[in-house]
Structure 1
Amino acid sequence: MSYRFVFILITGTCLISCFPQDNKKVTFMAIGDVPYHLPEDFQRFERLILSINTTAADFTLHVGDIKSGSTPCTDEYFERIKGYFNNFRQPLIYTPGDNEWTDCHREACGGFDPEERLDKLRQVFYSEDQSQGKNPMPLERQNSWEGFEKFPENARWQMSGLTFGTFHVTGSNNNFKLDSAALNDEFFERELANNFWLKQLFEQAKTAGSRGLVLVLHAGLNYNSKDERNGHASFVQLLRESVMAFGKPVLLLYGDHHRFMVDKPLRDNTGKTLTNFTAVQVFGDRDMHAVKVTVAPENPNLFLIDPFYVAGN
């Protein structure tokens, strides 16, 4: 019997027997693409953290871009942001954006090698099987799976009958370079990992009888899965197929374009809207606010979505 089969068997058994199927309302916050404008944004970020800490939110999600694309990608900056993350009273779960690694080759960012910066991000933020925050919670990371040891940033967890998962899918075309000389080895390896993780998340939700799914990533996805130049194409196609097969509510939280927006962007093969899929883009850049999501089991749409404004930001 292989290690992977044993792991899946144990995980599936635990999910069926241990998954909390209560009707407790879960509330969480989603932020992203902050802080950007330094040093003044540090004070605004502190105000955002303090405001969230006054709420009863169960946890906070940061959907990526912990800096702008024109500020240094130094070790010191990563450590400073980690310190801010650990000031959140409840767990903080973070998935990478593009600005903190793919764009770090820029002179204004320090002229770093992007993949070296990605390695550093993984060391700083994903070295333990738990979230950030003063009261971290355990996470199952993809690097615990054979063949995916490089991907600790992809994580999943369960809460109150829901399945949550993060995916390392970013802006900047997901680091898929269109130059004919580009090898794109990093992209193809991460694409394989993300697609595998997406399949596992939907399978886990079905096995557990989850009432819904929450997916977390950075990119404002390009939903044209037939575009060969689209670095999101295979993920989007798999997402569409999985949402249709699942049938229950699926919420996607993302950033990238810095504008709060609630949308129904997925269509089936006939062009009809997939009503069980909702995409929510968080605030960002100059608008340092949060999105509040309440999971309400009695509501047929399951997810109640509200802007959470921070005075002074």
Structure 2
Amino acid sequence: MNYRFGLILIISSCLSACFPSENNTLTFMAVGDMPYHLPEDFERFDRLIQRINTANPDFSLHVGDIKSGGTPCSDAYFTTIKGYFDQFEQPLIYTPGDNEWTDCHREACGGYDPEERLDKLRQLFYSTDQSQGKNPMTLQRQNSWEGFEKFPENARWQQAAITFGTFHVIGSNNNFKLDSAALNDEFYERELANNFWLKQLFEQARETQSRGIVLVLHAGLDYQARNERNGHASFVQLLREQVLDFGKPVLLLYGDHHRFMVDQPLRDSIGKTITNFTAVQVFGDRDMHAVRVVVSPENPNLFLIDPFYVAEN
């Protein structure tokens, strides 16, 4: 199936009988992989935020990469971005990308220890159960579960009979290092947390009879490779199982590759497209625009997806 740029996409194929009787609508925006090119992108980011505020969505999402892979990972920069996030009139929910911590060892980024930078992100953006934004929302964070106290960035919430969840799954092969000397302790611990959180999210959606699920993460997932070199393999396998079992529309919002794209990349065991799953890659890098998603319960296909352009950007 071909998707034309700029047109609303209707996803999934669940009949209206699948949905509860409530008729709540919901609109939200998704951005990611910005601002990259400094200082000029600060003006463009500010303009995008103001246009989103004018559109007045219920909330917005930043899917990760709050900087390029070659700009400093300083405390001052992180604080600047938090200031921009707090310009969003409505709640802003942010999940980390790889550029703001895994790449911070690079000389151009300041030569930081990546895990120390991740600790800083957690302290600055995830220290409470509130989202970012001038009018934040309360989120249920994974660090409230015993054994997962290190993972406040993974969050979930429900609106308009939709279950939402963020996952710290990132580009750069999910920080899974392939050299023989690598210990990968950070990766294995976070992989366990993400997989647990994914099961919890689908379980909650089934228990509450949610109309659909929205997943938010940074990585452009590798859906095909199931070998030991793929840092996304276990998450993708679990995602495939859960989506098939759930049976209702599941929308994945992600970034990483900086190109607006709509796809249905999950396949079942015989290679057929899993039609209740749709992945949407947001704009990023030079293209500082947003993606608008409307949850429309009266529409049997549930999610309507539309590029939200800022002409001056």
Match of 1:142 in 2: 142
Match of 2:182 in 1: 182
Aligned to 2:164, the other structure's residue is in SS state: strand
Q: Deviations for 1:227-274, whole angstroms, at most 9, x for unmatched residues?
A: 210000000000000000000000000000000000000000010100
Aligned to 1:77, the other structure's residue is in SS state: helix
Structure 1: 5+ residue stretches without partners: 1-19
Distance 1:157 1:308, change over 3 A: same
Match of 1:219 in 2: 219
Match of 1:132 in 2: 132
Do 1:289 and 1:308's aligned partners in 2 also have CA atoms closer than 8 Å? yes
Determine the C-alpha separation between the residues in 2 that align with 1:95 and 1:176.
18
TM-score by length of 2: 0.93
| Greater relative contact order structure (CA < 8 Å, 6+ sep) | 2
Match of 2:5 in 1: none
Distance 1:170 1:183, change over 3 A: same
* C-alpha deviation, 1:35, in angstroms: 0.1
Determine the C-alpha separation between the residues in 2 that align with 1:227 and 1:37.
36
Q: State the percentage of identical aligned residues.
A: 81
Determine the C-alpha separation between the residues in 2 that align with 1:225 and 1:242.
18
Determine the C-alpha separation between the residues in 1 that align with 2:56 and 2:66.
24
* C-alpha deviation, 1:298, in angstroms: 1.6
Structure 2: 5+ residue stretches without partners: 1-19
**What residue identity is the alignment partner of 1:147?**
G
Residue 90 (structure 1) aligned with residue 90 (structure 2): yes
Using the TM superposition, name which of 161-170 and 291-300 deviates more: 291-300
* C-alpha deviation, 1:21, in angstroms: 6.8
Determine the C-alpha separation between the residues in 2 that align with 1:147 and 1:40.
43
| RMSD over equivalenced CA pairs, Å | 0.9
Match of 1:54 in 2: 54
Do 2:56 and 2:90's aligned partners in 1 also have CA atoms closer than 8 Å? no
Determine the C-alpha separation between the residues in 1 that align with 2:205 and 2:134.
28
Residue 231 (structure 1) aligned with residue 231 (structure 2): yes
- Number of residue pairs aligned between Structure 1 and Structure 2: 294
Q: Segments of 4+ in structure 1 off by > 3 A?
A: none
Determine the C-alpha separation between the residues in 1 that align with 2:56 and 2:295.
13
Determine the C-alpha separation between the residues in 2 that align with 1:246 and 1:155.
20
Determine the C-alpha separation between the residues in 1 that align with 2:215 and 2:301.
16
Match of 2:22 in 1: 22
Determine the C-alpha separation between the residues in 2 that align with 1:245 and 1:130.
31
**What residue identity is the alignment partner of 1:284?**
G
Aligned to 1:252, the other structure's residue is in SS state: strand
Determine the C-alpha separation between the residues in 1 that align with 2:77 and 2:23.
41
Do 2:295 and 2:303's aligned partners in 1 also have CA atoms closer than 8 Å? yes
Q: Deviations for 1:70-102, whole angstroms, at most 9, x for unmatched residues?
A: 000000000000010000000000000000000
Residue 264 (structure 1) aligned with residue 260 (structure 2): no
* C-alpha deviation, 1:311, in angstroms: 2.0
**What residue identity is the alignment partner of 2:137?**
M
Match of 1:103 in 2: 103
